[in-house]
Amino acid sequence: MTLALGTAQAERGKITYGEYDLVRHPVGGMDRLPVIIAQGNEEGPVFWITAGIHGIEHAGIQVIHKLITQELVSELRGTIVAVPALNPAGLRTLERRAYYDDTDPNRLFPDGRSPKTDPDKAPPSALEQAYRRLFEEIKKSASYFFDLHCISINSLSFVFRDRVLYRKGDEAGKQRAEAVSKKMEEMAKAYGHTITADFSVGKYIDEKLHRSSTASIATVAGIPALTAELSSSYTPMRTTVEAGMAGLRNVMRWAGMLPGAPEPITGIRIVDPGFPTRRRSVARVPEACFVHHLVEAGTLVKVGDPLVEMRDAWGRVLGVLCSEYDGFVISCPSGILYYPGEASVLLAIRDDEPLVGAYPADFFD
């Protein structure tokens, strides 16, 4: 069967381009996804790479643009299916979200339940339905999946490993989740950037993270999937883009899609504290203030280490917030003005939680 997505159709040894119909506009016309299919001369895995689901995150788009070249295809075993602009409306308006759906677009992928019909609630939006269709295409052909994002200014470039969920009592499902999670670990190591897990299992549904592209593809479709966060939003740094390309080529070497040994990842900071980690937003300010950061992305921290100094508008020191955890700094959110309760540092903290876990008991009721 020939691999196709929208009007792009795979051809041996070639890069083909096309478009995939996403959302039709009331005034006519349509948002379409740009699609690139690069197929090697030899049969092999199908690697899906997507970017631009949040309209302010542009590094991944450049990674895809520069990664896929005729030289790469001449060495390639298998196929790359790439979509560099998953959220055309958000990208056009430089917003995280699309103006025709108020939800985080990376929380619109299927969760394994069929949508409930409730006359008092709007049915799934056009965008949600479109991502559902796209999910089916990914499920049909993908061996591996990478979704490229950015997190905030000067952050580390890293991967978020999702937890993989299964239904309680479903032994085969649990085994599949464990196998998928193991592949994700190998894939993350092959990529070679800093690694951290996302929230703990219990938080997944709460945060609707199970409906992110990668969690949905890993859990519902059983395909190893990773979210790469390529540092700053908006205009990317060239070093980050190049490190992203090198990481993806290393994933393809791991997957047997490219020959040769892994290439070194250079130009970015890579942190390994020596224990597994997960994300936590910390240094929540107790009062309205300006924050002066005492750490930066990549700083290793221990319990008690100072993270930020709080000052009033005149610069008078109000206090210092210290770390309650061992770990490292992933990023500092944009800006230095904070209201009470807002977190001023994103840490990777020690993670003792399992990487696979059961859905809540009533999830499928």
Give the interface with Zn ion as residue ranges (CB under 5 A).
54, 57, 149
Residue environment code for 67-93, b if the CB has 16+ CB neighbours within 10 A, otherwise e: bbeeebbeebbbbbbbbbbbbbbbbee
Q: Which helix (H) or strand (E) holds 73?
A: helix 70-75
Nearer to Zn ion by Cβ, of 101 and 326: the residue is 101
Q: How far is the CB of 57 from Zn ion (least distance, A)?
A: 5
Nearer to Zn ion by Cβ, of 97 and 174: the residue is 97
| Of 59, 63, 88, 214, nearest in space to 152 by CA | 59
Nearer to Zn ion by Cβ, of 40 and 105: the residue is 105
Q: How far is the CB of 105 from Zn ion (least distance, A)?
A: 9
Q: What are phi and psi of 334, to 5 degrees?
A: -70, 135
Nearer to Zn ion by Cβ, of 57 and 128: the residue is 57
**DSSP secondary structure of 78-107:** EEEEEES-S-HHHHHHT-SS-TT--S-GGG
Q: How far is the CB of 233 from Zn ion (least distance, A)?
A: 8
| Of 188, 142, 192, 191, nearest in space to 162 by CA | 188
Nearer to Zn ion by Cβ, of 213 and 323: the residue is 213
Q: How far is the CB of 164 from Zn ion (least distance, A)?
A: 20
Nearer to Zn ion by Cβ, of 155 and 344: the residue is 155
Q: How far is the CB of 253 from Zn ion (least distance, A)?
A: 26
Q: How far apart are CA 136 and CA 114, in angstroms?
A: 14
Q: How far is the CB of 305 from Zn ion (least distance, A)?
A: 28
Residues 6 or more apart whose Cβ sits within 8 Å of residue 155: 229, 231, 232, 297, 330, 331, 332, 346
